[in-house]
Chains A and B, each alone.
Chain A
């Protein structure tokens, strides 16, 4: 009983230690090369559990299979129209074939691979940008801008170059991360920006004034029209009044002479109502009274009958 337990235990122990020596794991983020006497003999790109001969016969060399970034140099290149332009390109790359990577990059040195990749990027950059006009990078007409196309051309070019060189590297994506111009050109750009802005300033002021003037004159025109309409309406109301008053004039027809007389006296009173200076001869009534007692004749009864 005791000895069985101990035996099982020892067997387990030896098993565990043995497994450590003759097997290894490749994680999801890795790929591996099995090296037999320091020569790569087996390439593993799938994660899982693998067996090998114990060291020093076989060793395992692991590579990170995740995406890494590398940037080209910030260098001046020229476009098709010989316009200088400064472009900085980056790529995201992975080690896709560990064996090739090991063989072509100084025994799988990441640093070496980055160096080579960088020079490939610079080559691609010069080659592809030289095929395009500057106007395809920046254009006042957005439909003529071909940044995306240039990026994808560079991507294809670099992919092909890297594949042909057999680096065991796969380029996942490529992009232009800086687009600049040389120092001297920047001064010219500022000059142009300044004059452009000054021109715009003038235009803004003119625009503002013309809009303001239009608003004012529109308001004035509206006012005139509104008042004209109101005046027309007022005239109509006056007309109504005159028409209504005319109905009463008909009643005056019964005695036009008296009506006219009343109208005149009324007018006289009305017109001389305010602050009038009157110069009147003394021989009109009632001022004739000032000259003396009037000659009053008492009416005879027979005259009354008449």
Chain B
């Protein structure tokens, strides 16, 4: 821009110097040409000034903020929308992506995979696992041991376990000013996307701080806590990480931390067995629960537990207790139902007898013998009618010691009935 201006400056100056020595006509045409070129020059100058001023118009995208630097100092932060700033070199703007959530996977706590291992493995290919971990190649975390083992062989309390983990960090630039001032970002070269440059530049820093947080957090957990991937661990890492990022005033906010931990391949068998045992024992417990439910339900139905609580001294209103007994089902209900039937039976028969007696008493008082005889014969008749087999025997006079033998077929159902009871 500056060079252009200089050219325009020099051209009109040259003819001006010689104007006096020429003829009038020539001078006039010359001055005419000069005038025109001067007008053109003015137009160009105005256009240039306008272009210069227009270059101050900038638009800030909805997912970014722009810092305005006036002579190198931060003057302010521009919100999304169109803005006008003094053109370079007085002011310049630096765009910072603030609304975007960025993700950074961390694989440095995972075991080393040879290129051939990274290929999809067929079911039959067996991977030969080294019996050791190479600290320069394999990544892992150290976790603490269970407390109880302190009493055992590991008396020093410094027993530890090894666990592999894949981690992912999701973060966001929160404070554009702090980020710009304190976090190293490479210069954006022409043709590069400033966003890619920023994410690439801050990766080593984030990776280091993140790994620090992971290492520091993980030693506080046991391997079982780690492999069950509880939310507590990522939360802990997130807290440590945020603290570190705040210490260096990075302006970066941790959105979330994700993790997936597993035991080393070298001890896979033992851990698989343990998982299987856990499942088996859960199965056993759930079977026992089913049995318990079934047993109680058979004994007393759905109110079993509640009723049991009442039996064990839980105080409920009289009405509620009766309601529970009424809702009783299963074997208990049967017992009570039988008792009720007995009660009805015994009362009814007593009443019937009493009424019968009352009815026949007048007749009996008149002719006792006849009435009794009739009742007696009625009974005998009824008995004989119901008898399955009948033998009528003629007793022989003076036959002391004589005996008769009758072969009786026992009814097999009788025996069975008595057994069932």
User: Could you list which residues of chain A lie within 8 angstroms of chain B, going by C-beta atoms?
Assistant: 2, 5-6, 9-10, 13, 16-17, 25-30, 47-49, 64, 66-69, 71, 74, 76, 83, 86, 90, 92, 94, 133-135, 137-142, 144-145, 147-148, 151, 172-173, 175-184, 186-187, 189-190, 192-194, 196-198, 200-201, 204-205, 207-209, 211-213, 215-216, 218-220, 222-223, 225-227, 229-231, 233-238, 240-242, 244-249, 251-252, 254-255, 258-259, 261-263, 265-266, 268-269, 272-283, 285-287, 290-291
Q: Which of A175, A220, A245 is close to B350, meaning CB atoms less than 8 Å apart?
A: A245
**Interface residues of B, dominant DSSP:** helix
Complex interface: chain A residues within 8 A of B162 (CB): 186, 189-190, 193
In the complex, residue of chain B having the shortest beta-carbon distance to the beta carbon of A241:
B343
In the complex, the answer to whether B300 meets A226 with C-beta atoms within 8 Å is: yes
Contact B300 A139 (CB under 8 A): no
Q: Please tell me if B364 contacts chain A, counting CB pairs below 8 Å.
A: yes
Is the pair B375, A261 in contact by a Cβ cutoff of 8 Å?
yes
Question: Which residue in B73, B154, B273, B298 is a CB contact (below 8 Å) of A48?
Answer: B73
Task: Judge whether B411 and A275 touch: CB under 8 Å.
Answer: yes
B65 to chain A, nearest CB (A): 15
- Is B212 located at the chain interface by the 8 A CB criterion? yes
Contact of B379 among A225, A268, A274, A279 (CB under 8 A): A268
CA distance A8 to B359 in the complex (A): 148
Query: Which of B282, B284, B340, B377 is the most central at the interface, judged by chain A CB atoms within 10 Å of its CB?
Result: B284
Within 118-166 of B, Cβ neighbours of A (below 8 Å) are at: 131-136, 139-147, 149-150, 154, 156-162
Q: Are A201 and B147 interface neighbours, CB within 8 A?
A: no
Asked if B353 is at the interface of the complex by the 8 Å CB criterion, the answer is yes
Contact of A189 among B160, B274, B332 (CB under 8 A): B160
A173 and B282 alpha carbons, distance in the complex (Å):
47
Task: Give chain A residues whose Cβ lies under 8 Å from the Cβ of B387.
Answer: 272, 276-278
Task: State in angstroms the CA–CA spacing of A135 and B157 once bound together.
Answer: 7
**Cβ contact within 8 Å between A251 and B132:** no
Is B84 among interface residues, defined by CB-CB distance under 8 A?
Answer: no
* Chain A contact residues, majority secondary structure: helix
New contact pairs (17) apart from A71-B208, A140-B154, A200-B274, CB-CB < 8 Å: A10-B9, A47-B72, A48-B73, A67-B250, A148-B216, A208-B280, A208-B281, A212-B285, A215-B291, A225-B311, A234-B336, A241-B339, A241-B343, A261-B372, A277-B390, A282-B392, A282-B393
**A201 close to B274 (CB less than 8 A):** yes
Bound complex: CA of A13 vs CA of B2, how far in Å? 7
- Give the CA-CA distance A37 to B267 in the complex, in Å: 67
Q: Is the Cβ of B108 less than 8 Å from the Cβ of A178?
A: yes
Contacts of B83 in A (CB 8 A): none
B158-A139 in contact (CB<8A): yes
Q: B335 touching A234 by the CB < 8 A rule?
A: yes
Chain B interface residue count, Cβ-Cβ cutoff 8 angstroms:
148
Contact of A138 among B142, B307, B338 (CB under 8 A): B142
Chain B residues, CB < 8 A from A10: 9
Asked whether B311 lies within 8 Å of A226 as measured between CB atoms, the reply is yes
- Which of B144, B208, B267, B377 is within 8 Å of A90, CB to CB? B208
B383 on the A face (CB < 8 A): yes
Tell me if B288 and A176 are in contact (CB < 8 A): no
When distances are taken between beta carbons in the complex, the residues of chain A under 8 Å from B264 are 190, 193
Given the known interface contacts A175-B212, A274-B386, the answer about A9 and B343 at a Cβ–Cβ threshold of 8 Å is no
The answer to whether B215 and A176 touch across the interface, beta carbons within 8 angstroms, is yes
Contact pick for B386, options A68, A237, A258, A273, CB 8 Å = A273
- Whether A178 pairs with B308 at a CB distance below 8 angstroms is no
Q: Are A173's CB and B135's CB within 8 A?
A: no
Closest to B177 in A: A28
Whether A265 contacts B375 by the Cβ 8 Å rule is yes
Interface string of B51-88 (1 = CB under 8 A from A): 00000000000000000010111100000000000000
Q: Mark B195-209 against chain A: 1 for CB-CB distance below 8 A, else 0.
A: 000000000110011
A277 & B389 in contact (Cβ 8 Å cutoff): yes
